[in-house]
Chain A
Amino acid sequence: MDPVQRAILRADPRLSKFDPLPRILFFDNFTTGMSGWNVLLGNYTESLDRRLPEYKLMTTPMLSNVTHWDGGTHGALDGSYAMKIATRPIRLAQTVALKRLTFPKACPIQLETWFTFKPEASELKLSELDVRSIGFIFDVQDQARRVLPQIRYLNAMDGKPAHRWQYKDKCIPFSDVGEKTVSVFHYGEEYWEDVPGGEQRLCYNEIPTKINWHYVKVGWDLRTMRFTTLQCNDRVFDISHLGGIEIKAMPNLWNLFNVILSVGTDVDKRAFAYFDSILVSGDWE
């Protein structure tokens, strides 16, 4: 990035906390609306009943000002509103929200977001092990293959602290959901592997209704179909040797580029993930 562009970015208080690649594809801070984010709708034909069961549990994202019963409105990091995704109060339920686009050119791309996560404050307990995971995922396809690079922060598993980053490069088989359409729930608990050296403790705070925003950056190269970087706050993890789930290119998904966020609960309680702002950038001419 040239010095002038860098200086301009650094001078903008909304962008200064990001470290984008030279071209910003989108920047959403949810103060003016939902900006194109929606619930992941499981594939189906003929009837919504044909969706796989895990997709039926997903709920629509919300514009939230992060209000709690005891402390009132927490607000976002920048402005009042953040995007919130919420699971149902069912152990291992997940909710996924995404923004769908196509990539203009195969190049390095990067997701950055300021986020936080909390369980619903339905108990007057610390509840720090109630949220299972929060995921940062792409779904891309070139002329030969569809690739799903998946990263998650595993906060807790079966009531025990996990506090580490994981990736996934294998997938269960696809299911036929009728006519020409297939589906797979690739967000499930199978095949997750630890990112080497990926242990990290995040700030949970001291009660369920106090939140602190965290920075994360996930980079991917659409030319090599490999990760470029993973950073969360002051920790940088070398994941440049890692890839995602790879399958043969599918019809109707050419140049697919979906940016995907997920949250999962470890207990029969709603888990919430909040995103103050999301910036996706690339390096193309």
Chain B
Amino acid sequence: MTIREAYTAVIAQAETWKGAAATEPYEAAWAGEAVVFLRLLKKGKGNLRNVRVRVQISPDGMHWADEGAALRIPADETKVTFCRVTNFGHYLRLAATLPRGAECQVLATLSLKA
């Protein structure tokens, strides 16, 4: 039996988001599906309730398009939010635009599976 390859990539490791934020490009051409998880590592500042964290895809890691999937920033450090993505292009990343005065420290992971 061949086990399906799976790899969890931490794409934002205690990164602080404010203003226009995006994670570093992550290549995942080998994966057929991804679950994106988002956690807050400490209490956020400002109004984060309406922030839409968008999954973006790219053929080259330089030109990005919204995939359509999105997730919310968790309400507090005890919660986790997620979304599922399939049929994505070569690269994945998360992008968000936070309102003025808003700031949060996030841990974002891609749980990828072949």
Chain A positions within 8 Å of B, measured between CB atoms, are: 32-34, 39, 41, 47-49, 51, 56, 59-60, 62-65, 67-69, 81, 84, 86, 88, 120-122
Contacts and interface: CB of A to CB of B under 8 A. Distances in A.
B60 A64 contact: no
B9 interface: yes
A122 B62 contact: yes
A122 B10 CA distance: 24
A68 B91 CA distance: 12
A67 B60 contact: yes
Nearest to A37: B7
B26 A68 contact: no
A175 to B, nearest CB: 17
Chain A interface, DSSP helix/strand/loop, else mixed: loop
Nearest to B31: A63
B11 A60 contact: yes
Contacts, number: 58
Interface of B: 5, 7, 9-11, 13-14, 24-30, 41, 59-63, 90, 107
Given A39-B10, A56-B14, A122-B62, A64 B27 contact: yes
Q: Which of A39, A41, A48, A84 has the most CB of B within 10 A?
A: A48
A58 to B, nearest CB: 8
Nearest to A65: B29
B113 to A, nearest CB: 11
A62 B28 contact: yes
A88 to B, nearest CB: 6
Nearest to A80: B30
B30 A63 contact: yes
A64 to B, nearest CB: 5
Contact of A68 (B13, B24, B29, B60): B60
A138 B86 CA distance: 38
Contacts of A41: 13
A122 B7 CA distance: 27
Contacts of A88: 24
Given A34-B7, A60-B9, A63-B30, A48 B41 contact: yes
Contact of A32 (B5, B62, B107): B5
Given A34-B7, A48-B41, A86-B24, A67 B14 contact: no
A63 to B, nearest CB: 5
B26 to A, nearest CB: 6
A68 B90 CA distance: 10
A86 to B, nearest CB: 7
B30 A81 contact: yes
Given A33-B5, A33-B7, A67-B90, A60 B26 contact: yes
A62 B14 contact: no
A128 B92 CA distance: 27
B12 to A, nearest CB: 10
Contact of A62 (B26, B62, B63): B26
A69 B63 CA distance: 9
A210 B7 CA distance: 28
Contacts of A56: 13-14
